[in-house]
Every structure is written in C-alpha cells, then in structure tokens.
Amino acid sequence: MTLLIRLIAKYALWIYVLCGLGMVLYLRTALAARKEGVQAVYSLERESATSRIYRSSGMILLLLILVVGVYALSHYVELPSPTISPVTPPTAAAGTPTQRPPTLTPGALTATAVPTATRRPRNTTVAAPTAAQTTPATAIAPVSCPHPNVQIVQPGRGQVLNEGIQVRGKAEKDQFDRYEFKFKSQDAADEWHWVETFKTPVNSGDLGYWGTSHLPPGNYLFMLIAIDHSGNSQECIVPVVVRH
C-alpha cells in the first residue's frame, strides 16, 4: 500500500493529464449524442443518443473522482516513518566467568618517599616566556549541495549525533509544495527511510528536528529533499555518525 501511494504521488501530474483528456473525449461524445438526439426522427434513435449521454456523463464523473482521489493522496496522506530496532549488545555466555576490576587496598595507595641527593643551584639563563600556542578545535564544515535553495548548515559533514539534532539550513523551490527529511544507513545495504514532511518553505533557519536515539550506532546519510507541485525535486545529503 505504501509503495502504491508513493507511485501515485510521483506520477500524479500524468494521471491528471490523462484524466483531463478522457473527460474532454467523453464530453465531446455526450455533446454529439445530444445533437443526434435533437435531430432524431425515430424514438429508437433518441433512446440510443440518451444512453450514450448517460454513459459519457458517468465516465466524466468517474474520472473527476479519480482526479480528486489522486490529489488527496499526493497532498494529505503522510506515510508512517519506519523504525529500526536498536542493536542489543552481546551478552556473556552462561557459565563464563565475569572479569571484575581489581580492588585496591588502602595500603596500595600509600606512596613511599625516596631520598634524593641535594644539589646546589646554579645560574641558568631562562628564556623569555612565549605566548602559548593553542590548537583551535576542529570546526564541523557544512556540506555543499548543488542546488542553492536546498542547503543543510547543521548537521555538518561527519558530525557525531547522540539523541538527535535541530536541522538548520534552507528549503525553497519554485512552485514549492513540501520538503522532507529522510535517512539511510551506510554500514549495510539500506533504502531511504522517510522521517517527516513539512509544508512551509524556509529561507534560512530551523528546518525541523531529527531524533536519532532509536537508531543503532553507525554511519548514516541524512537527506533534505524539496519537492514542487509537479513532483520535481532537489536534494541535499550529508554524512553523519550516530554514537550513543
């Protein structure tokens, strides 16, 4: 069912076009039958024309219902987010002794004084103190994505996540319809998992929250995807690390 809804949303534009062509053809058939019914001399001809009018009207109504149903599925039905069961760490087999850390006694912590020889101080030249050199913390660089209106500022490339993160960036598009969060594992063969859908474009700022507390530790890809009314999309993908 989930796959069917995704296919309908992907090809919604083509379904609208085909239904529109069908309604035009059936409307022409109904108009032609109405004209024949007006010009008919015999009652049998008028009944045949009336029957064709009813059939064409019914098909037009059916195609209209189909268009409304496809629109509702594409814009108002949100698919549930799949969950991944956390990996349970292996437990020790029955009967295997458990190693315990050694216990220190108070006597073991007592340091023994060692006598040292006393030396006379000698004059030494002390260099002038220099400014301490500090190593700046490694900054997490944001990922660079091809489309200027679909960008992720946070999380950065290779950022380590624990419980989750507030996603920041930009999600805009001509004829904007929605943007979504998705993710997949890099450690095994996996598919994209839907997280959440948002209906309001964001020029620059908070895009939403991605919770990672339920995910097993490992390497993942996080995707921001913006979609327009025609189903066209642009993506921005950043690799991250989940570590609890």
Specify the CATH number for the domain of residue 211.
2.60.40.10
Q: What's the average model confidence in pLDDT over 103-130?
A: 50
Domain stops at, among 48, 76, 104: 76
Rounded to an integer, what distance in angstroms lies between the CA atom of residue 166 and that of residue 143?
16
Q: Among 47-61, 81-95, 218-232, name the one with the lowest average pLDDT.
A: 81-95
Residue 217: inside a domain: yes
Residue 36: inside a domain: yes
Residue in the block written with tokens 């895009």: 207
Q: Does the pLDDT at position 42 exceed 90?
A: no
Q: Does the pLDDT at position 122 exceed 60?
A: no
Residue 94: inside a domain: no
> Domain range holding 172?
150-242
Domain stops at, among 31, 59, 76: 76
Residue in the block written with tokens 């698919």: 79
pLDDT digits (tens, 9 = 90+) for 138-152: 467 889 999 999 999
Residue 121: inside a domain: no
Output the CA–CA distances (angstroms, integers) from residue 214 to 150, 164, 168, 197, in the order listed: 27, 9, 21, 19
Structural domain count, the chain: 2
Output the CA–CA distances (angstroms, integers) from residue 239 to 156, 157, 158, 192, 213, in the order listed: 8, 6, 5, 13, 17
User: Which tokens hold the place of 124?
Assistant: 């030494």
Residue 196: inside a domain: yes
User: Rounded mean pLDDT of the chain?
Assistant: 80
For residue 171, what are the contacts with CB-CB under 8 A and spacing of at least 6? 149, 150, 179, 198, 201, 202, 207, 224, 226
Residue 61: inside a domain: yes
Residue 88: inside a domain: no
Domain stops at, among 15, 50, 76: 76
